[in-house]
Each structure stands twice: as structure tokens, then as C-alpha cells.
Copies of this chain bind each other. A is one copy, B any other.
């Protein structure tokens, strides 16, 4: 059966996270309901990233094997957007090669975290940036971020889930990039992190810890010690969800061509 691939943007404030969860409004639940209403056929969605409650997405990817009745993807996109926008928007819809799966075909995910670092708040950034009043030292943020690049056990930065048979799941992930950039002159700082995959709360714990470094409460050199300790209590606090955005998901070139 062909596989439909959707590129999604959503406002995290409107949903209790990505994954379906009976009784609460989630991205996957809302999207599946809308697609099924348009297509008049049940669909089984897979998403590239299980974003938490309050976390935004600009480049979430979702896929589902599509019965022939769904063949007009342009119509699905228009109709779903009419039902779900502006909180949830299908930015594009296309056919993916056989066997494509938004989650398992993905090679990497890129998240962006935005910090507004100045005394005065901004009404127009309040929903998408964490307002940090204490001045952050950009050089320290950058130095500390370098420690995360490479393959590490992220037990210090993640809630450890149990595998289906009760065994502890691996929290080893490979971070490909991690860097901070100032955006404009007014104290907006953006943290970009790309990894093969992320575990639960990983970006928000890393950002929370880096901000402690930027404030001067912790040294950049301590990042490697915290990583190696594999101790959840060693890292800093979890940064708020509303500053985080799933920005982009990367797939092998063969899956990009269709």
C-alpha cells in the first residue's frame, strides 16, 4: 500500500502533546480524526517525534499507509487545514516510497529552543520563547554545548522509560550538532540541536542545564562530568516546554525524491 507523508506545524499550547491519549486533545488524535473525517476510512499514523505537552512543531513528519480512497492528498491537506488550522497545519503532503515510516526511516531530528534573554519581556515572543532575565554569557553557553556532541548515554538528562518487557531502555543517543546563535540585537538566543534521536525531556534538560552555565552557576567543564555520572539528579532543571520546537526531520535521500 502507498504511504502518505505529511509535514506538520502546530502550536504546542493547543495540545496535550503529540501522542494519542484518550480523553485529552493531542496532535495525533486531532489529526487522525480530521483525516478520517475527510477520507472516510481509518488511518494509522506514525510521527517522527513524540513532542510533549506545550512543545511546538514547525517540521514534524507524520506518515500513514493510505488506501486508494485517500489518493487526493492535496484535498486531504486543504480539508484538514480547514478543520484544524491555525493550531495544526499540514504544510505539505506527498507520497513516500514503499516502506517509508516517519519514525523509523528518520535519520535525525533537529530541535530549536528559543530564549529571550533581557530584563523586559515581549508580548509577541511570550508563547514561543523562555524569558530568562539573568544575563547569559554566550561564550559559556557555546563552550558547554560542545560537550553534548557525539555518542553519549543521556541518562542524566532524560526520564528513563521502561521497555515493553520491563527492562531498562537504552538512553544512548548520538548528537550531531549543538550550537547557540543570537538572533538580532535584542536578546533573542536560539539553541539548535540535531541528533539521531532524542529521549524524553532531553532537549529541555540540556537547555535548563546550559542556562545554569550561562548564568555562571555551573562551569562548562562540568557538562562532561554530569553526562558521565548517568545520574538524573546531576543535571539542571528542565526548561519550559513553550520555548521548544521540533524544527526539522532528516531522511535518507532515497525517501526525499518522491
Contact = CB atoms under 8 A, between A and B. Distances in A.
Nearest to A87: B123
A75 to B, nearest CB: 12
A185 B203 CA distance: 30
Contacts of A58: 124
15 contacts: A11-B124, A56-B124, A58-B124, A81-B120, A85-B123, A86-B121, A86-B122, A86-B131, A87-B126, A88-B123, A89-B120, A89-B122, A89-B123, A91-B120, A92-B120
Total copies of this chain within the assembly: 2
Interface of A: 9-11, 56, 58, 77-78, 81, 85-92, 119-124, 126, 128, 131
A123 B126 CA distance: 15
Among A77, A87, A121, A131, the one with the most B-chain Cβ atoms within 10 Å of its Cβ is A121
Among A11, A77, A90, A131, the one with the most B-chain Cβ atoms within 10 Å of its Cβ is A11
Contact of A86 (B9, B10, B81, B123): B123
Contacts of A126: 11, 85-87
A52 to B, nearest CB: 17
A81 B120 CA distance: 8
B121 A81 contact: yes
Nearest to A12: B123
Given A86-B126, A91-B120, 14 more contacts: A9-B122, A9-B123, A10-B123, A11-B126, A78-B119, A86-B123, A87-B123, A87-B126, A88-B123, A89-B121, A89-B122, A89-B123, A92-B120, A124-B128
Contacts of A122: 9, 86, 89
A89 B122 CA distance: 7
Q: Which 5 A-B residue pairs are closest in the complex by CB-CB distance? A: A86-B126, A85-B121, A11-B123, A86-B121, A86-B123
Contacts of A89: 120-123
